[in-house]
C-alpha cells in the first residue's frame, strides 16, 4: 500500500515537473526573478556602474550602450554583438558588417560584466548584462525605467549576414517597417524605438547623400547649412584622416546626453539628420506617431519601454543552450 502511494506521488510529481517544464518552454524561459537566489543584486550593480560612467568623462559610453543593445537584440538577444571577429578566423562576424558604422566603446560591456562577476562570479551572461545595461542607459539618460526579464544565455555564433539585415542610414519607411515587423514590433513601436536617435551622433558618411551631389529639398535650409558646414565636400579624399567620413554631428544638439522626445520635435522641423529619420515625417503611416510622441513624452516612453522589452526577448537562448561567456568578447575555450 505504502509503496503504491509512493509510486502515485512520484507519478504526480513527475507529471507536474514535466508540465511546468513545458510551460517554461512555451514562454521564452526568461523571468524577472531568474537570479533571485544566485545574484539578487545584479540589477543594482549594473545601474550603479552605468550611472558612474554617465557621471564621468566617458559619459558617451552610455549613449552607445543603447545602440549595442539594439544591435544585439535584432539578431536574437544572445550576446553575439559583443564577440570580436577574431573568434571566427574562417567566418565574417557581426563586427564585420557595415552596420557597425560609428559603433564605439563596446569593450565597456566587458567591464560591466566584470563588476557583476565580482559579486556573483560566472552567473550572469553577457546577453543579460547587455540587455540590462541598455535598459540602465535608457533610465540614466532620462528615459523610462524598463523592467527586464533575465536568464538569457550567450551564443557561440555571430554572423555578418545577420547584422547586414539592420537597415542603412538611407532606409525607406517600407524598409524600416519591414525590418521591425518580424521582430514583433509594429509601426507605433518602430517609430518609438527610433527615439534612440535622441542621443549620440551621426558621421558625415551617414548623411552625405542628403548633401551631395544635390541638396535634399526636404531639409530645412538653415539646418542644411549646418550640415554642409560640418561636411564640406572639398576635402581631399586621400588625406588619410578624411573628415567626410569622420566628422560628425549630434543628433540632438540641445540635449545630446538626454533620451527624450526632443528628437521627434526636431524631426517635425525637418531637422532629422539621417534619411531614415527624416523619412518618417513624409509617410502617412509614421507621421501620426512622430506627432504623437513629439507632443506626449509619456506615451513615447511607455511605447519605447514595451518595444524594448519585446526586442530584448527576441530569439533568446535559455536553459542549457549556449554558454555563460567568461569574457564578453571571447568564446569560452
Ligand X SMILES: *[C@@H]1O[C@H](CO)[C@@H](O)[C@H](O)[C@H]1NC(C)=O
Binding site for ligand HEM (CB under 6 A): 63-64, 66-67, 70, 101-102, 104, 167-169, 171, 176, 179, 193-194, 196-197, 199-203, 205-206, 276
Catalytic residue selected from 71, 203, 262, 271:
71
Q: Is 271 a catalytic residue?
A: no
Interface residues for ligand X in 309-328 (CB under 6 A)? none
Question: Which option in ligand X, ligand HEM, none does residue 244 bind, with CB closer than 5 to 8 A by kind?
Answer: none
Judge whether 111 is annotated as a binding position: no
Residue 84 interacts with which of ligand HEM, ligand X, none, CB < 5 to 8 Å by class: none
**Residue 76 in marked binding region:** yes
Q: Is 332 in the site for ligand X (CB under 6 A)?
A: no
Site size for ligand X, by CB under 6 A? Answer: 7
Whichever of 194 and 328 has its CB closer to ligand HEM, that residue is 194
User: Which cell numbers in the block locate residue 163?
Assistant: 547584422
Burial label, 234 (beta-carbon count in 10 A; 0-12, 13-18, 19+): exposed
From first CA to last CA, the distance across the chain in angstroms is 53
The pattern of x and - marking residues 74 through 113 that bind ligand X according to CB under 6 A reads --------------x--x----------------------
Residue 217 binds to ligand X (criterion: CB under 6 A): no
Q: Does 257 bind ligand X (CB under 6 A)?
A: yes
Q: Is the backbone of residue 79 left (phi > 0), alpha (psi -120 to 50) or beta? A: left
Instruction: Answer whether 158's CB lies under 8 Å from 81's CB.
Output: yes
| Cβ burial 10-22 (10 Å sphere, 16+ → b, else e) | eeeeeeeeeeeee
- Is 271 annotated as a binding-site member? no
At 235, list the grid cell: 576635402
- Residue from 24, 115, 157, 306 touching ligand X (CB under 6 A): that is 157
* Side-chain-facing half-sphere of 276: CA atoms under 13 Å: 20
Residue whose CB is less far from ligand X, 157 or 166? 157
**Cβ atoms within 10 Å, residue 126:** 31
Q: Residue 138 binds what, of ligand X, ligand HEM, none (CB under 5 to 8 Å, by partner type)?
A: none
- The answer to whether the peptide bond before residue 213 is cis (omega within 30 degrees of 0) is yes
Q: Are 188 and 244 in contact (CB under 8 A)?
A: no
Positions marked active-site: 71
**Contacts with ligand X, residue ranges (CB under 6 A):** 57, 59, 88, 91, 157, 159, 257
Amino acid at each position: 500500500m505504502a509503496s503504491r502511494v509512493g509510486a502515485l506521488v512520484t507519478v504526480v510529481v513527475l507529471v507536474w515537473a514535466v508540465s511546468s517544464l513545458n510551460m517554461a518552454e512555451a514562454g521564452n524561459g526568461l523571468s524577472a526573478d531568474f537570479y533571485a537566489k544566485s545574484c539578487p543584486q545584479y540589477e543594482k550593480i549594473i545601474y550603479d556602474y552605468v550611472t558612474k560612467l554617465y557621471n564621468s568623462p566617458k559619459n558617451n559610453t552610455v549613449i552607445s550602450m543603447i545602440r549595442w543593445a539594439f544591435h544585439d537584440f535584432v539578431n536574437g538577444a544572445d550576446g553575439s554583438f559583443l564577440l570580436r571577429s577574431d573568434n571566427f578566423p574562417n567566418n565574417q562576424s557581426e563586427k564585420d558588417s557595415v552596420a557597425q558604422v560609428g559603433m564605439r566603446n563596446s569593450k565597456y560591456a566587458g567591464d560591466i560584466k566584470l563588476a557583476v562577476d565580482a559579486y556573483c562570479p560566472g552567473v550572469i551572461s553577457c546577453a543579460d548584462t547587455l540587455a540590462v545595461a541598455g535598459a540602465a542607459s535608457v533610465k540614466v539618460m532620462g528615459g523610462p525605467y524598463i523592467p527586464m526579464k533575465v536568464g538569457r544565455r550567450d551564443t557561440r555564433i555571430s554572423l555578418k549576414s545577420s547584422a547586414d539585415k539592420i537597415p542603412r542610414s538611407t532606409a525607406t519607411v517600407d524598409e524600416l517597417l519591414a525590418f521591425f515587423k518580424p521582430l514583433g514590433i509594429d509601426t507605433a513601436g518602430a517609430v518609438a524605438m527610433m527615439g534612440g536617435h535622441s542621443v549620440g551622433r551621426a558621421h558625415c558618411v551617414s548623411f552625405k547623400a542628403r548633401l551631395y551631389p544635390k541638396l535634399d529639398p526636404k531639409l530645412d535650409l538653415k539646418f542644411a547649412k549646418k550640415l554642409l558646414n560640418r561636411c564640406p565636400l572639398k576635402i581631399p579624399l586621400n588625406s588619410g584622416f578624411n573628415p567626410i567620413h569622420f566628422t560628425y554631428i549630434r543628433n540632438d544638439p540641445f540635449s545630446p546626453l538626454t533620451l527624450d522626445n526632443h528628437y521627434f520635435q526636431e524631426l517635425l522641423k525637418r531637422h532629422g539628420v539621417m534619411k531614415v529619420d527624416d523619412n518618417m515625417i513624409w509617410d502617412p503611416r509614421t507621421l501620426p506617431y512622430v506627432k504623437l510622441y513629439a507632443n506626449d513624452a509619456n506615451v513615447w516612453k511607455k511605447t519605447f519601454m514595451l518595444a524594448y522589452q519585446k526586442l530584448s526577448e527576441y530569439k533568446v537562448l535559455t536553459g542549457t543552450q549556449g554558454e555563460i561567456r567568461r569574457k564578453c568578447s571571447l568564446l569560452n575555450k
